[in-house]
């Protein structure tokens, strides 16, 4: 490792629907209903810094894995996509535990806002934890950033979807939240749970019930059989304010 040290100053912070690491999709864009604000800070909190950015539909957000950086890193990791059983080199994965705790997400830029001296970006399709520090923003260029016929190693396709249903009570609770907040809670829950956010060890030793924090709610769900063949899915049965 080089002896040179470099300092990164955050340009902003994320205000996200994801209140904990559990439940965050492992890639951006898998939950299109996921919303966040990127509030600019310091000298970057000015309209001039984002002038012209609204002409782009998507942006690259480079950020810090602020909750995992203290745990250090290892040269190999166990990707969830491989069931948590096979090790791969850390640079062949998008694991959060890295030599430098930097992440990169491609997200949709919904709009740019300004009020009372604060500039922020409204984002969707995010995979960013609440209070994540952002260190850089760049526009997405389809002709340069999308490569035809690129190889994707051990993750050549999007993960399989898990069936998700709601009890009538949970669906009504979603509607009440959506009316009061304007956030699409039901579709967000559907998109998050269909990815099966459980780590590999919980899939091997499943619990009866689970919970995940989204916005200001604890989403309670359980495993159910969905057909006579014994196939399983998830049922959302309670949405509790926290």
- pTM beyond 0.75, yes or no: yes
Determine the pLDDT at residue 199. 83
As a residue count, the chain comes to 242
| Residues in the chain with pLDDT values less than 50 | none
CA–CA gap between residue 42 and residue 44 (Å, rounded): 5
Q: Where are the domains of the chain?
A: 12-145, 164-241
12-145 has which fold? Answer: Elongation Factor Tu (Ef-tu); domain 3 (2.40.30)
The per-residue pLDDT for range 150-202, each reduced to its tens digit, is 999 988 888 889 999 999 999 999 999 999 888 899 999 999 999 999 887 87
Residue 130: CB atoms within 10 A of its CB come to 15
């Amino acid at each position: 490792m080089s002896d040179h040290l470099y300092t990164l100053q955050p340009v902003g912070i994320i205000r996200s629907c994801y209140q904990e690491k559990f439940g965050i999709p492992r890639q951006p864009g898998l939950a299109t209903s996921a919303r966040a604000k990127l509030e600019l800070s310091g000298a970057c909190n000015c309209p001039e810094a984002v002038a012209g950015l609204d002409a782009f539909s998507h942006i690259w957000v480079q950020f810090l894995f602020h909750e995992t950086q203290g745990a250090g890193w290892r040269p190999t990791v166990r990707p969830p996509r491989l069931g948590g059983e096979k090790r791969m080199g850390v640079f062949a994965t998008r694991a959060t535990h890295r030599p430098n705790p930097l992440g990169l997400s491609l997200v949709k830029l919904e709009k740019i806002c300004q009020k009372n001296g604060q500039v922020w970006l409204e984002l969707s399709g995010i995979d960013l934890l609440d209070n994540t520090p952002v260190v850089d923003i760049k526009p997405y260029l389809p002709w340069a950033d999308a490569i035809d016929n690129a190889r994707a190693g051990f993750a050549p396709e999007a993960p399989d979807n898990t069936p998700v249903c709601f009890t009538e009570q949970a669906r009504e609770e979603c509607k009440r939240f959506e009316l009061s907040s304007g956030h699409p809670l039901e579709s967000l829950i559907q998109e998050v749970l269909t990815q099966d956010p459980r780590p590999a060890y919980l899939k091997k030793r499943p619990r009866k019930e689970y919970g995940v924090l989204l916005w200001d709610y604890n989403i309670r769900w359980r495993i159910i059989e969905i057909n006579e063949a014994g196939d399983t899915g998830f049922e959302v049965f309670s949405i509790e304010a926290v």
